[in-house]
């Protein structure tokens, strides 16, 4: 829509990509920082969109979230910013603000995660931008919705949503997840909303506003636990590694080491009972079916632990996997990446060229006709400022 044709050669580089992704030709103005917004725009960039990341003079907060580092770069920043161009614009400087407004006018998609109302004084709010760019898909990411000004950080949402009340041992303190899980989920929700709005624009020519917030995404991401409260009034609590509706579905000690056993149905429990030499469990009305087995887990547990004590976790893993039972050892992140490599999943994508080639975690998307592409290393602060400014200053051909 707004990616003008007839660009001069000196700015054409800004839009060049090696692949022919499904979003090729779209311009995304990325006014977001930290994780939820940048994660969403990286998904769009992987699919071929030209994403222009706008940073203030101090840069994205995550540039200073160290360690760990690769060279001088915080790996946190690297995790959500590949395939993007970067421009530094200071909104307190009139010329820079005018360029930011021009970028918003030309963009197909704008993503921002300022505090609600924070962009109004700069003329970069949805109402103002859409007046000059009626086809824009304008995505706003907030902590608690557009009418609530308080800032949202993933850790706060983990506590406020109830997630931490579910995480940890039953008799211990609540724990946060080891990753900013609701930032990631919100980023995915944002990308989905943008794609839906782009489809609507393709059909009608109309842009629209897309709104996501961390708290709503968290409650959606709690799925069965939040549904248990909403639909049945059940308030779940911490159960350690146990599952409220399935058993066994947790790590369990063996003769040496722990093994995750995941019996999601009665057929899988039958495989387990036969494999550990306890076929009599299948004729025991307490254990044979999922609902009574769940109710009698405390009676089954010592019997199961005794049976598992006769082999190591690795021995059970090999035996049970061969018989088709879902089970797994507890890996480190390094072992997880190595496992994906061994399984041919290609979990690492190197991006960049010359002296700046960055290994990144590959997109999980596999598209047979329009695959993702990896062209640009996460940019240094202001790396493409000259190119972006030249493009925004040129007068589009009529």
DSSP state for residue 396 in the 8-state scheme: P
Number of H helices, E strands in the chain: 15, 13
Question: Which one of 183, 266, 375, 384 is the catalytic residue?
Answer: 183
What angle do helix axes 266-275 and 313-322 make, rounded to 10 degrees?
Answer: 120
Quickly count: other Cβ atoms within 10 Å of residue 166's Cβ: 17
86 is catalytic: no
CA separation for the pair 284, 262 (Å, rounded): 20
Q: Say how far apart CA 295 and CA 226 lie, in whole Å.
A: 21
C-alpha angle 240-236-229 in degrees, rounded to nearest 5: 155
User: Which helix or strand (DSSP H or E) is residue 267 part of?
Assistant: helix 266-275
Query: In terms of Cα–Cα distance, which of 286, 283, 248, 285 is closest to 265?
Result: 248
In 149-222, where does DSSP find H-type helix? 154-160, 181-204, 214-221
Catalytic residues: 183
């Amino acid at each position: 829509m707004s990616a003008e044709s007839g660009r001069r050669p000196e700015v054409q580089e800004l839009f060049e990509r090696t692949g022919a992704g499904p979003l090729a030709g779209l311009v995304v103005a990325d006014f977001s920082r930290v994780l939820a917004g940048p994660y969403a725009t990286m998904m769009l960039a992987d699919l071929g969109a030209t994403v222009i990341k706008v940073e203030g003079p101090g840069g994205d907060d995550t540039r200073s979230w160290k360690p760990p580092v690769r060279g001088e770069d915080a790996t946190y920043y690297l995790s959500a910013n590949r395939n993007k161009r970067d421009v530094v614009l200071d909104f307190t400087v009139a010329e820079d603000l005018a360029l930011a407004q021009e970028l918003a006018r030309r963009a197909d998609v704008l993503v921002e995660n300022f505090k609600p109302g924070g962009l109004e004084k700069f003329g970069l709010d949805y109402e103002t931008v859409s007046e000059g760019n009626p086809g824009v898909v304008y995505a706003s990411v907030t902590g608690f919705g557009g009418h609530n000004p308080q800032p949202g950080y993933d850790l706060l949402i983990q506590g406020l949503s109830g997630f931490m009340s579910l995480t940890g041992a039953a008799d211990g303190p609540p724990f946060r997840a080891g990753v900013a899980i609701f930032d990631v989920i919100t980023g995915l929700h944002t990308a989905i909303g943008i794609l839906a709005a782009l489809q609507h624009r393709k059909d009608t020519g109309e842009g629209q506003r897309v709104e996501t917030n961390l708290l709503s995404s968290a409650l959606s991401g709690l799925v069965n636990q939040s549904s248990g409260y909403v639909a049945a009034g059940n308030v779940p609590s911490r159960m350690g590694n146990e599952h409220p509706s399935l058993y066994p579905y947790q790590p369990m000690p063996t003769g040496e080491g722990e093994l995750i056993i995941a019996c999601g149905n009665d057929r899988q429990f039958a495989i387990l009972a036969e494999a550990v030499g306890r076929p009599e469990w299948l004729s025991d009305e307490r254990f044979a079916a999922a609902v009574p087995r769940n109710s009698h887990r405390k009676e089954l547990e010592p019997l199961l632990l005794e049976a598992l004590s006769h082999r190591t976790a690795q021995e059970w893993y090999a035996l049970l996997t061969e018989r088709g039972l879902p089970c797994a050892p507890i890996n480190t992140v390094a072992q997880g990446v190595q496992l994906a490599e061994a399984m041919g999943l290609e979990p690492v994508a190197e991006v960049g060229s010359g002296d700046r080639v960055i290994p990144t975690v590959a997109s999980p998307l596999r598209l047979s006709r329009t695959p993702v592409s990896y062209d640009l290393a996460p940019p240094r602060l202001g790396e493409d400022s000259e190119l972006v400014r030249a493009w925004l200053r040129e007068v589009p051909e009529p």
